[in-house]
Copies of this chain bind each other. A is one copy, B any other.
Amino acid sequence: MAATLKDVAARAGVHPSTVSRVLRKQENLKILDTTRKRIFDAVEELNYQPDFTARALRMKKSFTIGLIVPDIGNPFFSRIARTIEQLGFEKDYTVIVCNTDEHQAKENKYVNHLLSRGIDGLIMVPAQDSDESVNKVLEHKVPLVLIDRLFEDINTNAVISNNVESAYNAVKHLVDLGHKKVAFLRGRNNIYTMTKRFEGYQKAVDEFGLVKSDSLIVGNGFSFDDGHNATTKLLNCPEPPTALLLTGNLITVGAISAILEKGLKIPEDISVVAFADSIFSPYLVKPLTTISHPLYEIGSKAFNLLLENIESDEETLPPTQIMINTQFDIRETTGKAKAA
């Protein structure tokens, strides 16, 4: 078994509490003479490491934060996670990663679990079927920062993107290229980002007098298959759209695969703009025109906001919402609309 405070104390010939003090107190707040050396020697010899669990129990502070995301396998989330973990490391916080797979039930289970673990704070991308778990966290007065999605009727800390504007600009770009019929491939319905992006899409459709039809709004999931199926369905229409607005990494890959399977050319036959954050985007079949996120910025803003809340003496700070601008890169998957 690992050495304990008591062991160190015995070996150094002092009381455990003394060891505890020496090991933790700032180097010399209350100066100790040679005891100090004896203790450090003992620590060295016994290879003593304080027991984190015991300390957490006693201090009601775990130096642990939770990170709940839909899918850490998705580059968007994994790169944000990377940043958060890295900044946490610098501040001695450790992060527990949880995937909800967009399931509310999993999210609830995780939230309960993390709460009972005594995490110091939580960063999460809510699955958003309900606000149950968010409220639970709030009730427990555990610092919380939402990323990418939020509930408009709950005032929480959040780091989100300018979805409406991003989608609007993307469609406008297509309009400038002569497109009149633009499809919107949404991920799961009722998700904040989707609602907002759809809002931007709609606004542009109305403003520029594009073809408006429910048949152009397709998809209901974030996976490769979701993207593939929705696109296939679209392309099988008698008069398919000439451009696609894709709303996620995996959806994008699925859509591209469906287009290629159909033997269509991008952008000659169909243009594509995607919300995508893969490092591979610029090197696809055709370099992909994307709306991408400054992932490091999102991760670090979220982490710092959380840390502020954790370290604040106030029980709860007034919520802060940070808006991050996406980046729009016009590359080669968007081109002139085919003449009708």
Contacts and interface: CB of A to CB of B under 8 A. Distances in A.
Interface of A: 2, 49-54, 56-57, 62, 64, 71-73, 75, 78-79, 81-82, 85-86, 89, 94-99, 101, 106, 110, 112-113, 115-118, 140, 224, 249-250, 253, 256-257, 260, 278-285, 287
23 contacts: A49-B115, A50-B116, A51-B57, A51-B118, A52-B113, A53-B56, A53-B118, A71-B82, A72-B82, A73-B81, A73-B82, A75-B75, A78-B78, A82-B99, A85-B97, A86-B101, A89-B106, A95-B97, A253-B283, A257-B282, A280-B281, A284-B284, A285-B287
Given A51-B118, A53-B56, A284-B285, A94 B96 contact: yes
A287 to B, nearest CB: 8
Contacts of A52: 113, 116-118
Contact of A140 (B2, B71, B117): B2
Given A96-B95, A99-B86, A260-B283, A62 B53 contact: yes
Contacts of A256: 283
Given A72-B72, A283-B285, A49 B106 contact: no
A23 to B, nearest CB: 12
Given A78-B81, A96-B96, 5 more contacts: A49-B116, A53-B53, A86-B101, A89-B110, A278-B278
Contacts of A284: 280, 283-285
A254 to B, nearest CB: 9
B72 A78 contact: yes
Nearest to A83: B73
Copies of this chain: 2
Nearest to A117: B52
Contacts of A73: 75, 78-79, 81-82
A73 B97 CA distance: 13
A113 B257 CA distance: 44
A279 B78 contact: no
Contacts of A95: 96-97
A261 B94 CA distance: 41
B72 A85 contact: yes
Contacts of A260: 283
Contact of A257 (B89, B101, B118, B283): B283
Contact of A53 (B50, B81, B117): B117
B116 A51 contact: yes
Nearest to A249: B279
Contacts of A62: 53
Contacts of A250: 279
A116 B49 CA distance: 6
Contacts of A2: 115, 140
B116 A279 contact: no
Contacts of A116: 49-52
